[in-house]
Amino acid sequence: MPALRPGPHHWFAERLLAVVSGRRPVHSLLGHTVGPAYQQLVNLAPAEQALRERLSPVVRQCGRFIPGPGVIEAFARIATGDRVTAMAFRLEQGPDLRWRCAAVEIQGPRP
């Protein structure tokens, strides 16, 4: 049985987590967001360097729902030690067939 190839929601889950945990700058996703998603990331990203250095959250699970062509509504369970956070995001496929994040939300203790 062939191994399943991760979808775009896996790639985005890892990149979004890297931004909201401060491991990557927000502008690293500038070309990968549309609409209000970039500003949402600016608001979610930590401002303090000390916060960025002490966190090591990881994606524990990533899933998706496809409500229609060119749209993925995805979730990721994020673990930071024994804390669990939920991250939801929406991906939209543009005319160029590239996936872009259109919205992101984090519920629970922030990673």
Q: What one-letter code names the amino acid at 19?
A: V
Tokens of 51: 């916060």
Looking at residue 108, what DSSP letter applies?
S
| The pLDDT of residue 50 | 47
* Span 84-110, pLDDT tens digits: 999 999 999 999 999 999 999 988 655
Q: The dihedral of CA 11, 17, 18, 20: what is its sign?
A: positive
Would you state the pLDDT for residue 60?
Answer: 94
Q: What percentage of the chain carries pLDDT values higher than 70?
A: 85
pTM confidence score: 0.86
Query: In the chain, which ranges are continuous DSSP H helix?
Result: 8-20, 37-44, 49-54
